[in-house]
Chain A
Amino acid sequence: MKFLADNRGQIRVIEAFFASVLLLSSLMLIPSDHRMENSNDETLRNVAQRTLITLDGDGTLSRLIENQSWATLRKCVQSLLPSPATWFNLTILDENMNPLNLVQICSGTSISGNMVAAEYVCASSDISFNVYVVRLQLSSVS
């Protein structure tokens, strides 16, 4: 009889333990700041990739690089970004990864958040064939 009464107590303890485990595990389903940051980074990375693809869709990107029209390139990137509150920095590298733009192609606003980058191998469609690596860095300006 005494043993059974003790058992009842143990079961209560086990029950409480499982309940607390259940509560703790449910906390994992609540999105944390870290996950939200990851999600923002992914969104920014997608924006950067989409911007580069769109820019080169009609050969504009390679043409502007060939002509070294950095100011026009900056305006083109700016116009393709969904929000003006997005900082960007565009770097043009040759096939040996040497930077080609001596002038910075960026939005000029200081940044405080995380920065993401997307890279794109850009082939020129001109008669003189060249390959460039274009790196677009984005960050949300808070």
Chain B
Amino acid sequence: MKRKSTRSNNSGQALIIASLVITMLLLSTVYYVFEINKDGLKDEMTFEYAFLATKLSATNAITSALANISNGGEPTVLLTDLNKLASVIRNHYYETKCDLSSIPLNVTPYQDGIRISWNSNGSGITSAYVDFVMNFSELSTQYDSEYSTNITTTLNIEGTSAGSGNVKSVNVTCRMYNEGEPALANSIRLFYQNETEGSWTVVDLSNNLNTIDYGNGTYFMSFNVYAQNSFQISARSQDLRDIFVVANTTCSFV
């Protein structure tokens, strides 16, 4: 009888111990998961920062190259600058290994990532388009990202002329866009061409040039010229990023 009683007591103790062991297992599992999540979050934030920083620098590099090329620089500047940036980034990041590969778009109308369309249809476009592949890696984790960056400056021009005889009163409206959004211009210079293939004459104060800046990327200009009923006008402008663009159109007589 006594033997039976001791066994039942022992059984209760074993249950308590078993529950303790299970509790410990559960607690250690929860703690492990918590630590793993914390490390993962830290890695994610490091990669997010590296991605944002690299993307921003690459966009600045494209803007710089486009400003250079549109002002007469060599088209190879784009890839040269991006390779220089990739080299500094590769040698710089201590916490992560970062590789940045740049692939300038080579699909018409882009050539080596550059598009310069300064036609006579009233719209001038200066643009760059580059695909990027970014690879960040640490000892245990790796993060890959592919994205494209497009920098485009567009200038639209419309013009009308009125008046009898050779003296024409001309009204011109120019609109500047950066990536499709209205943007301010650093400078706009107007030219007119009386004869096809003739020389371009700058419009200045001697033409009673009057400019109204609407502050939203729209510029209205009026001036007087000695010209035929139909003649070409040209706007040559730089946006605030120093990207140069030219837009030509035929001034219609009204």
B139 within 8 A of partner (CB)? no
The answer to whether A83 has its CB under 8 Å from any CB of chain B is no
Instruction: Give the residues in chain B near A125, CB-CB below 8 Å.
Output: 60-61, 63-64, 67, 241
Q: Which of A18, A57, A129 contacts B20 (CB 8 A)?
A: A18
Kindly list chain A residues whose C-beta atoms are within 8 Å of the C-beta of B13.
Answer: 8, 11-12, 15
Q: Among A46, A57, A59, which residue has the most Cβ atoms of chain B within 10 A? A: A59
CB distance from B11 to the nearest CB of A (A): 11
Complex CA gap A29/B65 in Å reads: 54
Q: Is A22 part of the contact surface with B, judged by Cβ < 8 Å?
A: yes
Would you call B61 and A11 a contact (CB within 8 A)?
Answer: no
Contact between B17 and A123, CB atoms less than 8 A apart: no
Q: Does A122 contact B (CB under 8 A)?
A: yes
Chain B 1-21 per-residue mask, 1 if CB under 8 angstroms from chain A, else 0: 011001101100110110011
Q: Could you tell me if B9 and A26 are in contact, using CB atoms closer than 8 angstroms?
A: no
Within 8 A of B (CB), among A93-120: 95, 118-120
Q: With A19-B20, A131-B84 given, is the CB distance from A4 to B56 under 8 Å? A: no
A22/B53 in contact, CB under 8 A: no
Does A7 belong to the interface (CB within 8 Å)? yes
Q: How far is the CB of B167 from chain A (nearest CB, A)?
A: 40
Give Cα A25 to B57, complex, Å.
47
B106 within 8 A of A: no
Residue A36, interface by CB 8 Å? no
In this assembly, does A124 line the interface, its C-beta being within 8 Å of a C-beta of chain B? yes
A53–B56 touching, CB < 8 Å: yes
Report A-chain residues with C-beta under 8 Å of the C-beta of B93: 119
Q: Give the chain A neighbours of B92 by CB distance below 8 A.
A: 119, 121, 133
Closest-CB distance, A35 to chain B (whole angstroms):
10
Give chain A's interface residue range (CB within 8 Å of chain B): 35 or more
- Residues of B contacting A8 in the complex (Cβ-Cβ under 8 angstroms): 6, 9-10, 13
Task: Give the residue name and chain of the A residue nearest to B90 (CB).
Answer: A121
Q: What sequence of 0s and 1s flags, for each residue 143-187 of chain B, a beta carbon within 8 Å of any chain A beta carbon?
A: 000000000000000000000000000000000000000000000
Set of chain B residues within 8 Å of A18, measured between Cβ atoms: 17, 20-21, 24
Residue of B nearest to A21 (CB): B24
Chain B contacts with A in 1-53, Cβ cutoff 8 A: 2-3, 6-7, 9-10, 13-14, 16-17, 20-21, 23-24, 27-28, 31, 42, 45, 49, 52-53
Bound: A19/B68 CA distance, A: 73
C-alpha spacing A71/B157, complex, angstroms: 42
Nearest-CB distance from B169 to chain A (Å)? 37
Residues of B within 8 A of A15 (CB): 13, 16-17, 20
Chain B residues within 8 Å of A, Cβ to Cβ: 2-3, 6-7, 9-10, 13-14, 16-17, 20-21, 23-24, 27-28, 31, 42, 45, 49, 52-54, 56-58, 60-61, 63-65, 67-68, 71, 73, 77, 81, 84-85, 88-89, 92-94, 241-242
- Sampled A-B contacts (22; CB under 8 Å): A1-B2, A7-B10, A8-B6, A11-B14, A15-B13, A15-B16, A15-B20, A18-B24, A22-B20, A22-B23, A22-B27, A28-B31, A42-B42, A52-B53, A53-B53, A62-B60, A95-B88, A120-B53, A121-B85, A127-B68, A127-B71, A131-B88
The 7 closest A-B pairs by CB, nearest first: A123-B57, A125-B63, A125-B60, A123-B60, A129-B64, A18-B20, A123-B61
Given A5-B6, A129-B65, 6 additional A-B pairs, CB 8 A: A11-B13, A21-B24, A121-B88, A129-B77, A129-B84, A133-B88
